[in-house]
Amino acid sequence: MTDAVHPLLIEGLQKAGFECDYHPAIQTDSVLEVIHQYVGLIINSKILVDKYLLDKGQALKFIARLGSGMEIVDRSYAKQKGIHVFSSPEGNRNAVAEHAMGMLLALSNKLLVADNEVRQFEWNREKNRGFELQGKTIGIIGFGNTGSTLAKKLTAWEVNVLAYDKYISNFTGQMKHVTETSMIDIFEQSDIISLHLPLNEETAHLVNKAFINKFHKPIVLINTSRGKIVNTVDLLEGLDNKKIVGVCLDVFENEKPHTFSEKEKTMYQQLYHYDNVVLSPHIAGWTKESKEKLAATLLNKILSVA
């Protein structure tokens, strides 16, 4: 286990007969030195499970990811080698959906700006007049675990929810307030967009200048999925020309500030300058409850093949 996990996972595996080595501070080089000894590898996001690691792990039977992002695992090669690969989006989907709602409400009510001003003894009511969600159209792109959970959260908010997913259909089920639709309708009708997509060749920089310019109205953009889905330079242009009137970002193209190039520093400083932007450090799925849920989800999946 290469990252922090809830004790439930360790205890459950031990009861099932596994010997568990817990090294949450371990780095890739050290993993490569010892991986040949292990039948299972449990990761979060820092360990890249590529062909080299998979070949080193001659005894591996499973790879388990705490969370949903699977771009760090070469799943096709793992399958060739007969290694089971598990993710656990069921464990943090509620946390991500709640975080997306929290960011949107903070943005729409100018809470961060107002909070900072009050702490500075400023009292600016008219300047901080916000907007209501009631009657707005929210486009959800990607209707898997987190997209569908966000849609459920929106049930009582009297909004119009449009949902698009390229790979599934007839997915709205009992959610009568959600309309399954096309990207054309989302471009035409949406006031707010929320992204719930994996990162792959298809989605990398999906949100670019051309994408932004297809919207018929100025939009609010929420991204709690993967940072590289959004082209930050084009996002800044959208903010400048008012094609984008608000942004909520929990994820970024580069999430390691100490590695920023001078160009990246300038780019992110521009982003931080906007008061209609709400930011958080990739913590949407990072709650006390989700830590336990992720552990329980992976435990069940691992034991189903162990």
- Report, as residue numbers or ranges, the catalytic residues: 226, 255, 282
d(CA 121, CA 10): 49
Task: Calculate Rg over the CA atoms of the chain.
Answer: 21
Q: Vertex 47, ends 41 and 48: CA angle to 5°? A: 105
Q: Is 268 left (phi over 0), alpha (psi -120 to 50) or beta?
A: alpha
CB 300 within 8 A of CB 86: no
What is the three-state SS of 51-120?
HHHHHHCCCCCEEEECCCCCCCECHHHHHHCCCEEECCHHHHHHHHHHHHHHHHHHHHCCHHHHHHHHHC
From edge to edge, which strands make up the β-sheet containing 84-86? 40-43, 62-65, 84-86
42 is written with which tokens? 């449990």
In terms of Cα–Cα distance, which of 192, 197, 188, 191 is closest to 168? Answer: 197
Between the CA atoms of 6, 9, 12 and 15, what dihedral angle is there, to the nearest 10 degrees?
-100
Question: With b meaning 16 or more CB within 10 Å and e meaning fewer, what string describes 194-224?
Answer: bbbbbbeeebeebbbeebbeebeeebbbbbb
Which amino acid belongs to residue 57?
A: G
